[in-house]
Homo-oligomer: A and B are copies of this chain.
Amino acid sequence: MKIPRSISKLIDSFQGLPGIGPKSAQRLTFHLLRIPQDQIERFANALTGLKQGTIICGVCKNVGEEEICAVCSDNLRDHAKIIVVANPMDAFAIEKTGYNGIYHVLHGLIDPLNGIGPEELFIDDLIQRIGNYLKENDDLLEVILATNTSMEGESTAMYISNLIKKNNFKLTLSRIARGLPVGGDIEYADEVTLSRALEGRVEF
C-alpha cells in the first residue's frame, strides 16, 4: 500500500514546521481529509495571504500592516523607551503587560551553532536607530534588552550592550530581571535562577 501522493505531500509540508514530527504530521493530514473542502480552502488562503497582508515596520522591524507600524506611529507612546526583543511574539507578550514604550525586533538571536550571526539580525538597524534618536532628541533614552534568558538570549544581549558601549551612546541600558517566576517555589528553583534572584534583590 502506498500513501497517495497528495497525502504524503501535505505530510511533508507539516513535518517542515517546528515541533511537528512525522506522527503529528500524519495525524493532522488525516484530520484535514475529514473536514469540509471550504474550511481547507480558508486555511490555504490564510497561508498564501500571510505575507501579502504583513510588512516589516521600517522603524522597529516588527510585523505590521503599514510601512510604519501602529506602535511606532503612535505619538501617545513613550518613544524614549525601547524594548529590544527577539521576535514579534515577544513584543505581543510584552504588550499585554501594559507597556507604553516602543520596540525593536531583532528577528532572531545570535546562534553560531545554527549559523546565525549578528549580521543576520536587525542589530545594526538598532544601533543606527539609537544614533539617530540621540542626534535629534535631548531626552534620556532607555533601552531595555528583553531577549530570552537562554544562552543565545544572554549572548545577544551582551553583544548589543558591547556595541552600545563602543559607540559611546549616552543612554540607560537595562536587562529584564532574572529571578523566580511569580508563584515560584524556592525549593524547586534551579541554582542559577536562585542566585540571579538573590543578586537582583530589591529593597522591600
Listed in ascending order, the chain A residues whose CB lies under 8 Å from chain B are 1-7, 9-10, 12-13, 16-20, 24, 26-34, 37, 39-54, 62-65, 69-71, 87-89, 91-92, 95, 107
Contact = CB atoms under 8 A, between A and B. Distances in A.
A65 B2 CA distance: 10
B27 A89 contact: yes
Nearest to A77: B1
Counting every copy of the chain, the complex holds 2
A4 B65 contact: yes
Given A43-B13, A44-B44, A91 B51 contact: no
Nearest to A9: B46
Contacts of A6: 46, 49-54, 65
A63 B43 CA distance: 22
A28 B18 contact: yes
A27 B45 CA distance: 19
Contacts of A71: 1
Contacts of A12: 46
A94 B27 CA distance: 16
A29 to B, nearest CB: 7
B44 A4 contact: no
A41 B65 CA distance: 21
A47 B89 contact: no
A143 to B, nearest CB: 19
A95 B3 CA distance: 11
Given A19-B24, A27-B89, A31-B18, A4 B48 contact: no
B50 A10 contact: yes
